[in-house]
Structure 1
Amino acid sequence: MKRLLAKILLFFLTFLLIISCNAVKRLEPDQNLLVKNEIFSNGEKVKDPRIYNRLSQEPNARILGFPLKLQFYNLARPNIDSILSKKYLNNEQKKNRLIALLSKKQFDRYIHSKVEFNQWIKRTGEAPGIVSEEEAKKSENRLKSWYWNNGWFNVEADYTIVPIEDKTKRARVEYYVNPHQPYILDSIYTEISSQALDSLYELHKSASEIKSGIQYNTLDFNEERDRLSQLFRNNGVYNFDQEYISFDADTVNTNHKVNTTLIIKDQRNNIGDSISRTPFKIHNISKVNIFTDYTYSQRNEKLEDSAQFEGYNLYSFEEMRYKPEAVSDAIFIKPGSIYRDTDRTRTYNRLNALRVFKYPDIQYILDPEDSTSTDLISNIFLTPLPKYSLGFDFDVSQSNIQEFGIGFGGSFLIRNIFGGLENLEVSGRGSVASSTDAAASTDKNRFFDITEVGADLKLSLPRIFFPLETEKVIPKYMSPFTNISLGFSTQRNIGLDKQTFAGIFNYAWKPSKKLSNSLDLLNIQYVRNLNTENYFNVYRNSFEELNNLARESNFNFDDLSENPVLEIPNEADEFINYVVSDNTPDTGLTREEFFNVLDISERKLRLTENNLIFASNYTYLWNTRESLYDKEFSRFRFKIETAGNLLSLLSGVVSYEQNEQGNNKVTGVAYSQYAKTEVDFIKHWDLGRDRIFAVRAFGGVAIPYGNANSIPITKTFFGGGPNDNRAWQAYDLGPGSSGSILEFNEANMKLAFNGEYRFGIIDEFKGALFVDVGNIWNVLDNVNVPAYKFEGLEDLKELAVGSGFGLRYDFNFFVLRFDIGFKTHDPAQPQGARWFRDYNFSNAVYNVGINYPF
């Protein structure tokens, strides 16, 4: 195997060497391929990528040092028309033979397809970056411009084209910059014609982006222009625009100082051919008119209904369908207040979040009753969405549990159900699938032997539903919602089978576009296992170990064969009781083997017990990504959850029933009690030219206490899979150095770190190189196996490392992803033999996923 890999690598390197010599085959004799740009400032090499981005010409993009797109471009024939003419069009014998074979029309299409394919190769590839005096001069001027805009007004620049001596027809360009002494901002004066604007400026001048004593930067002046425009428009100056702001900079005989004058002229008025100027004024909102059911076709019809609430005027072309207080609560433009751009923006955002109206139209006009021309009337036109909406979805899936699955669902949305802009959504879902494990099925003759059905009910209220006033803590501009949901699902013939009941009382609010908060005041889950007798059919590894221990013991099998097998479930349970019972005589097992049986017993008990979770949780999410097309952004998520505390407090009032372990039970089920926290950070850097570097760091821990000594399996962590450590299958990694001996490995602590370099290959095909680091452990729970537990920082040496590469295809609305992960550091291997032990294709893990992993 090693010889084969060596041969493949040698062939690949030889192939790269041969085709790299052809990178310049399309160049003319007097042309050179640009291989590198270098910039020197005062003799020192510049490393700032912002400066290199100013150059008008860059070398061809490379993937692992190889110019793939250039090589693909070189596959195109530069003189395709003459080649086709000579080969087909001017060769009458060949031409006539093809026309007789194909037809004239198909022959023309054949010739056209040759031309189109050649053009596609050129479009998909990348033309050679040819060293050009014109482009170098343009880059020199751009460098001067960059330094000038950053305060070096006397900058000098030059360049030199340097041929590469040991490579044919290749060259680099060296740029030499002498910035000289930078200019510093000194005095800042103002010439503001309007008294109203001058007063606003003086009140907020401390927040200015241009300050005395700092180096001149053109971007600071642009940001100051943006700041002043927002300042004025959010303080009543309705008709202000950035074009009224200008700066005058004086650098004559100032000893490298810049004396700046901020100039803001009066409002310009065009009357016929003449232009006049009038001072800007502070505008107030005199009236707010809300048209709740406006459509363009109704614009000239008579209004049939109206209402007033706290100064708002509401009108309707039909009978009013909305409570006035609910609609006005979504409007931030208040009668009697000054005009603010932020009020309009917040109104747009809030109305869109309600999902009751189409995108609203907000207009301002001068109040004809005001002689001073300072009062504004705000007209808000709302067009209702349909009261009822029906949706359907369908999907096909595959996993480690099912070979093939079909899912389907539907939802029914009722808008404004109680007249206060509330939405009620009823949804149902179902699926059928074929299992991968015959043990999961009770009917071996059926192809679809797995079923799941579920239903959910969700009511969304556009306010914080709470007995006390919350406006001061969560003001309405944060777009608060109260969400109440109920859900039920049942699974049959899949593992242990189960029924799940859930109820959530949630608050959600967004202080800004980047920040969102979610608080589950109460999150109740009840999980009932229906087929616990099937446990050892599902968890076969546990059963095999149990059966081997039974053979080594003094247990009397019902099976009298040479290699007896425990009957499932009765005899398997009998053997566990036989070993762990205090009344059992000598079992013939060692102390270690006894604890192995005890571990199997405790795991079975935990995975087959019903769960009752009364939890509360809070999630903080900071996300700078504004759309799917953002390439550079940060995302930080923090979540904290506690469960069982409310029921524990009631134990002093309510007399709970207890189970055999001494845990309190509610409705016959021992309730879970734990504290759980998660921290997740993602950062993407845009490196330019379709290259992105992305990292993720995740840490989570869940600690049981009080009424529980373990975590419900639905709240634990797992490692591996296409969105985690891609060198291991999902649930195959960890815990610790145990070597994933169980079917579904989970634990209550997790660390994960990922790094990925993404790059364009050809057209919509993308490539990636990645490194994934992480593992799961048990900590402060009832697991006592040392290999599973995290006992100190020394256990960080059990972090698993996976590395590999991937190929993706971008469909714009989603990305189809294929990754190959190799076990680089495997903590399951003996110490000293963990690095690159199974680093080969035969032990690699192949992942298929939708969209990027993080």
Structure 2
Amino acid sequence: MKNITTKIALFILIGIIISACDSVKRVPENKNLLTKNSIFVNDKSVKDENAYNQLYQKPNGKLLGFRLRLNLYNLANLNPDSTFQAKFDQNPGRYERLSKIYSAKQVDRLGKSFLYSGINDFLKSTGEAPVIIDTTKIQKSMLRLRYYYFNEGFFDVKTDYDIDSTGRKKARIDYKINTGSAYIIDSVRATITTPALDSLLKTTRRTSLLVPGKQYKTTDFEEEKNRITTYFRNHGAYNFQPNYISFDIDTIEKGKKLDINMIINDYSYQDGDSTRTEPFKLYKISDVHVYTDYTAAKAKGVIRDSATYNNVHLYSYEKLKYKPRAIADAVFINKGDYFADNNTILTSRYFNNLKIFNYPSVQYEVDKRDSTRRSLIAKIYLTPRKKFSFGSSLDFTHSNIQDFGIGMTITQTIRNVFNGAETLQISARGNIGSSKDFANPRNIFFNASEYGVDMSLNFPRILLPFGTEKIIPKSMIPSTAASIGFSKQNNIGLDKENFSTAFTYNWTPKRNNTARFDLFNSQYVRNLNPSNYFNVYNSSYKSLNEIGKLYNTDISNIDGDQNLIINTGTQAFIDDVLADRTALRSTDKAHQTVESIEERRMRLTENDFIFATSYTFTTTTKRNLLDNNFYVFKAKIESAGTLLSLISDVGNLKRNENGNYQIFNLEYSEYIKTEFDYIKHWDFSRENVLAVRSFFGIAIPFGNANYIPFSRSYYAGGSNDNRGWQPYSLGPGSTNALNDFNEANMKISLSAEYRFKVLGDLKGALFVDAGNIWNIADIVTDPDAKFDSLKDLKELALGTGYGFRYDLNFFVIRLDLGFKVYNPANETGRRWLKDFNLGSSVLNFGINYPF
């Protein structure tokens, strides 16, 4: 408690010191620090971000309303060298004394030390110089504002500004915009001298961005240029570019209306020293040539092997190493079709997705055999990657299972395995980790380990005994992956062996959409140390032991301290209770607790066999890694055990004593599971981002099972979930996390996070998390853990807090401090803010952003 108080006092003291800094310390006399910009359009305040982006000067940034970077800059000594020298000018004898102790060179170097110079350089580079109002820059801002509103269709815009004092050497700027009335498009016509393009334009006018009655916007004209260019180049106009389109806008005697004449000029080209023009031609593809082993060194070499498939000609400088169909399937440029940019892009994407070639080069040349000069030969140059490649990686990890882990993976990749552009990957992985939640009798730091071997084979097509081109055309870049894997965990829970196999189809229905269909995904989980259950799930043992001290009648079940012996005593006592050989009766609450403990033990120690089929669809608007204004939506539905039950019913197989079917002497899981995950980011500029996430998942057991396997269950809490709780320590429902690893088969999660820049690569975040897990339609009997109606939504836990992120470019280190705002485990009336304190807070460490 003393340490916490000291830290809080230190934090407050630092805050007071920084707050005490004079924000106008570096502002010259008769100058003003810019505190705020406001834009008024037609006497109304606006919050248009694009308009504010036109301003040359913006106030110093704030962190929670405080200009932290400005005050850090003000703390710096701007001339540390002069200050250092002044000390000796004022006291010459001091320099002589120091020179006798140190050399003169060392004394001079002292001025470059961190104490004198380095700390000030740090404060200046980390801080932010005061933004001082500059009327020259105000004029530039007004000019840009005029251009901005002019481009929005307000041709008669007028601008002005006021500077209002907000304190000593502080002021704000009010920009005043009078737009006048907007100009409206009255008519649109086109002047085209190439008949072929005129015909094409008529087929696409319905989607034009320039239509009568619409307000003038400069961006519409640029987008219309690009739209028409794209359309023309996808219909044969190989030489067409946006610069061939221009617009003549007539406002004479039209008032606020515009007549637009779109002019599309003829093709111009250089012929010697002269520039000539001619009507555009629409080109068709006369031949497709693919060079499968091209390098710059081989460019002038002799072709030694060739093949043709579906009018695609394959050439090789050595022996052809690919099945012709595998290469031809990746080509979307067809002989006899008009030239189209889209087909070029699809071809490049497909070859790139094969991962056996470097990025392909697609080039076109006019076919000299055609006297009309309206034909193109497509030439595709492919440079193969190495057939065999070896890779390794070292990872530092943090998860809800391990507080800290070190993992290493080595991978061998073999390309073009069967000469059909297939890729085989074989990888071995190992991990050692540390977790305070695991049993650790030897008290060693790395108390958990895992190793595994995986193999996957990828085919660049859908492998089925029938054609799928009409359902999943090759333009969706389909692929098939078959995989098998084995892993083993030591000292993680009950220790496990995991065997898995999968057969998966992947395709992209649209550019930003992906679809995945697991024809089957099987998993066999074998618990190696089930007798360790009560050592791992200590809360269950404590509950059982307390009951045992009151009701155990067999002295052989307990040790010298009157505690139940693990595993013989615990199991014997449970058997006695369930067989009514103790004073407990089935109506007693303690009897029900023992039943619940045994029910959970049986469920978590049983080996699991899961044979599932699933479909996953993902769509996103994210364009690249730097895009912070996007959404991602993911939906998944999974069915497990249904096919096995159908086969068992048809085959009239026998059921076991529990009334269930078995495979390999093991009851297989049967359930239906569905998940919906939605993430949305809003970019407010200047590295301010609001991110929200919502998740709903439910898995319902039926048929051959009455519960969901632990590996397919949901948990709540942790660094990527509700950060006010430790992982697995929230729920189910209002049960107050009675068990060590609490899980359930339904989950609701909602999160919002506001991210902002603090200093350099250090970013901050304020977050709110809500959610919980519940049991529904399974064998759990505790009413506090079950979801029975919408009234149970009052058990949604609410947490909040703040955090810091440090960007290392290749990953982000994240620290979040979460507080419990609403705890459904508390009694009604004591759920709000009763645990909102440092003692109940949770410090979460994570890698990368939570969503």
Alignment TM-score > 0.5, same fold: yes
Asked whether the equivalents of residues 162 and 174 of structure 2 are also in contact (C-alpha less than 8 Å), the reply is yes
Matched residue of 2:575: which SS? helix
The residue type equivalent to 1:824 in the other structure is V
Alpha-carbon distance in structure 1 between the residues aligned to 2:510 and 2:693 = 23
Q: 1:101 to 1:221 in 2, by over 3 A?
A: farther
Matched residue of 1:555: which SS? coil
Q: Give the C-alpha shift of residue 836 in structure 1.
A: 1.5
The answer to whether residue 541 in structure 2 is matched with residue 543 in structure 1 is yes
Matched residue of 1:548: which SS? helix
The residue type equivalent to 2:763 in the other structure is K
Q: Give the C-alpha shift of residue 111 in structure 1.
A: 4.0
Q: Give the C-alpha shift of residue 658 in structure 1.
A: 3.1
Counterpart of 1:830 in structure 2 is 827
Counterpart of 2:684 in structure 1 is 687
Percent of pairs identical after alignment?
45
Q: 1:89 to 1:703 in 2, by over 3 A?
A: farther
Alpha-carbon distance in structure 2 between the residues aligned to 1:512 and 1:505 = 23
Counterpart of 1:23 in structure 2 is 23
Q: Give the C-alpha shift of residue 688 in structure 1.
A: 1.1
The answer to whether residue 611 in structure 2 is matched with residue 611 in structure 1 is no
Counterpart of 1:376 in structure 2 is 376
Counterpart of 1:638 in structure 2 is 635
Counterpart of 1:336 in structure 2 is 336
Q: Give the C-alpha shift of residue 390 in structure 1.
A: 1.0
Counterpart of 2:294 in structure 1 is 294
Matched residue of 2:224: which SS? helix
119-128 or 638-647: bigger deviation:
119-128
Selected match of 1:461 from 455, 459, 462: 459
Counterpart of 2:127 in structure 1 is 125
Matched residue of 2:597: which SS? helix
Counterpart of 1:305 in structure 2 is 305
Counterpart of 1:495 in structure 2 is 493
Q: Give the C-alpha shift of residue 709 in structure 1.
A: 1.1
Alpha-carbon distance in structure 1 between the residues aligned to 2:665 and 2:463 = 32
35-44 or 74-83: bigger deviation:
74-83
Selected match of 2:516 from 507, 515, 518: 518
Matched residue of 1:326: which SS? helix
621-630 or 221-230: bigger deviation:
621-630
Q: Give the C-alpha shift of residue 776 in structure 1.
A: 0.7
The residue type equivalent to 1:127 in the other structure is A
Structure 1 vs Structure 2 CA RMSD: 2.4
28-37 or 493-502: bigger deviation:
493-502
Q: 1:404 to 1:65 in 2, by over 3 A?
A: closer
Counterpart of 1:482 in structure 2 is 480
Over residues 233-282 of structure 1, what are the superposed CA-to-partner deviations in whole Å (9 max), with x where a residue is unaligned?
A: 11111111111111111112112111111111111122344322111110
Q: 1:3 to 1:547 in 2, by over 3 A?
A: closer
* Structure 1 unaligned spans of 5+: none
Counterpart of 2:180 in structure 1 is 180
Counterpart of 1:151 in structure 2 is 153
Matched residue of 1:153: which SS? coil
Matched residue of 2:321: which SS? coil
Counterpart of 1:565 in structure 2 is 563
528-537 or 479-488: bigger deviation:
528-537
Matched residue of 1:269: which SS? strand
Alpha-carbon distance in structure 2 between the residues aligned to 1:207 and 1:808 = 45
Q: Give the C-alpha shift of residue 46 in structure 1.
A: 1.6
Q: Give the C-alpha shift of residue 547 in structure 1.
A: 1.5
Over residues 44-74 of structure 1, what are the superposed CA-to-partner deviations in whole Å (9 max), with x where a residue is unaligned?
A: 2223333222222211110111011111222
Matched residue of 1:787: which SS? helix
Asked whether the equivalents of residues 554 and 588 of structure 1 are also in contact (C-alpha less than 8 Å), the reply is no
For residues 667-686 of structure 1, what are the structure 2 equivalents within 5 Å? Answer: 667-686=664-683
Asked whether the equivalents of residues 542 and 742 of structure 1 are also in contact (C-alpha less than 8 Å), the reply is yes
Over residues 675-695 of structure 1, what are the superposed CA-to-partner deviations in whole Å (9 max), with x where a residue is unaligned?
A: 111111111111111211111
115-124 or 793-802: bigger deviation:
115-124
Q: 1:16 to 1:791 in 2, by over 3 A?
A: farther
Counterpart of 1:744 in structure 2 is 741
Asked whether the equivalents of residues 367 and 373 of structure 1 are also in contact (C-alpha less than 8 Å), the reply is yes
The answer to whether residue 798 in structure 2 is matched with residue 795 in structure 1 is no
Q: Give the C-alpha shift of residue 409 in structure 1.
A: 2.6
The residue type equivalent to 1:489 in the other structure is S
Alpha-carbon distance in structure 1 between the residues aligned to 2:92 and 2:289 = 79
Q: Give the C-alpha shift of residue 483 in structure 1.
A: 0.3
Counterpart of 1:811 in structure 2 is 808
Q: 1:467 to 1:631 in 2, by over 3 A?
A: same
Selected match of 1:661 from 634, 652, 658: 658
Asked whether the equivalents of residues 333 and 344 of structure 1 are also in contact (C-alpha less than 8 Å), the reply is yes
The residue type equivalent to 1:135 in the other structure is K
The residue type equivalent to 2:297 in the other structure is S
Selected match of 1:505 from 491, 503, 506: 503
Asked whether the equivalents of residues 557 and 569 of structure 2 are also in contact (C-alpha less than 8 Å), the reply is no
Asked whether the equivalents of residues 756 and 764 of structure 2 are also in contact (C-alpha less than 8 Å), the reply is yes
For residues 88-237 of structure 1, what are the structure 2 equivalents within 5 Å? Answer: 103=103, 110-112=110-112, 118-164=120-166, 167-237=167-237
Alpha-carbon distance in structure 2 between the residues aligned to 1:493 and 1:753 = 33
The answer to whether residue 686 in structure 2 is matched with residue 696 in structure 1 is no
Q: 1:562 to 1:389 in 2, by over 3 A?
A: closer
Asked whether the equivalents of residues 625 and 634 of structure 1 are also in contact (C-alpha less than 8 Å), the reply is yes
For residues 49-68 of structure 1, what are the structure 2 equivalents within 5 Å? Answer: 49-68=49-68
Over residues 263-313 of structure 1, what are the superposed CA-to-partner deviations in whole Å (9 max), with x where a residue is unaligned?
A: 111111223443221111101111111111111112222111111111111
Alpha-carbon distance in structure 2 between the residues aligned to 1:333 and 1:106 = 72
Q: 1:266 to 1:735 in 2, by over 3 A?
A: same
Counterpart of 1:473 in structure 2 is 471
Q: Give the C-alpha shift of residue 434 in structure 1.
A: 5.8
Q: 1:404 to 1:259 in 2, by over 3 A?
A: closer
Q: Give the C-alpha shift of residue 100 in structure 1.
A: 6.1
Q: 1:171 to 1:751 in 2, by over 3 A?
A: same
Q: Give the C-alpha shift of residue 118 in structure 1.
A: 3.9
The answer to whether residue 584 in structure 2 is matched with residue 594 in structure 1 is no
120-129 or 840-849: bigger deviation:
120-129
The residue type equivalent to 1:674 in the other structure is Y
* Structure 2 unaligned spans of 5+: none
Q: 1:598 to 1:303 in 2, by over 3 A?
A: same
Q: 1:493 to 1:157 in 2, by over 3 A?
A: closer
Alpha-carbon distance in structure 2 between the residues aligned to 1:262 and 1:438 = 73
82-91 or 291-300: bigger deviation:
82-91
Asked whether the equivalents of residues 750 and 775 of structure 1 are also in contact (C-alpha less than 8 Å), the reply is yes
Over residues 596-649 of structure 1, what are the superposed CA-to-partner deviations in whole Å (9 max), with x where a residue is unaligned?
A: 111111111110111111111111111222332222221111111111110111
Matched residue of 1:783: which SS? coil
The answer to whether residue 407 in structure 2 is matched with residue 411 in structure 1 is no
Asked whether the equivalents of residues 71 and 125 of structure 1 are also in contact (C-alpha less than 8 Å), the reply is yes
Asked whether the equivalents of residues 552 and 588 of structure 1 are also in contact (C-alpha less than 8 Å), the reply is no
Q: Give the C-alpha shift of residue 405 in structure 1.
A: 4.7
Q: Give the C-alpha shift of residue 552 in structure 1.
A: 2.2
Alpha-carbon distance in structure 1 between the residues aligned to 2:362 and 2:106 = 58
Q: Give the C-alpha shift of residue 105 in structure 1.
A: 5.8
Alpha-carbon distance in structure 2 between the residues aligned to 1:671 and 1:726 = 35
Q: 1:232 to 1:111 in 2, by over 3 A?
A: farther
Alpha-carbon distance in structure 1 between the residues aligned to 2:760 and 2:19 = 24
Q: Give the C-alpha shift of residue 370 in structure 1.
A: 1.5
Over residues 98-148 of structure 1, what are the superposed CA-to-partner deviations in whole Å (9 max), with x where a residue is unaligned?
A: 666555665565545655654443332222111121122222222222211
Q: 1:105 to 1:578 in 2, by over 3 A?
A: same
Matched residue of 2:556: which SS? coil
The residue type equivalent to 1:42 in the other structure is N
Asked whether the equivalents of residues 184 and 216 of structure 1 are also in contact (C-alpha less than 8 Å), the reply is yes
